[in-house]
Homo-oligomer: A and B are copies of this chain.
């Protein structure tokens, strides 16, 4: 057995607006240049993916993605600088929590 940690960012009404799903989605946009392709990879509908991103953007007050027009692939999306910064900070915070929680797990449940 082991204990997993999930971090859920909520707004003032306790509505979820960020977590591992949006994180993976946006890292996918960074890698593939396409929200639609990333959603497909994750087995998520494009509508759902768009909703997750819009919802997080609305709460945080900045854009995660910006449209890239034209080019060989006919355009797509890329991350904004603010978007990248948020993802990097989330990643550091999440990893610090996971590390601490694993240490505590060994303390409470270890051999």
- Tell me the A residues contacting B by CB distance below 8 Å: 1-12, 17, 59, 89, 92-93, 96-97, 100-101, 104-105, 107-109
Contacts and interface: CB of A to CB of B under 8 A. Distances in A.
Contacts of A100: 97, 100-101, 104
A91 to B, nearest CB: 10
Given A93-B105, A100-B97, A8 B3 contact: yes
B8 A12 contact: no
Q: How many copies does the complex hold?
A: 2
Cβ-closest 3 pairs across A and B: A93-B108, A6-B6, A100-B100
B10 A1 contact: yes
Nearest to A92: B108
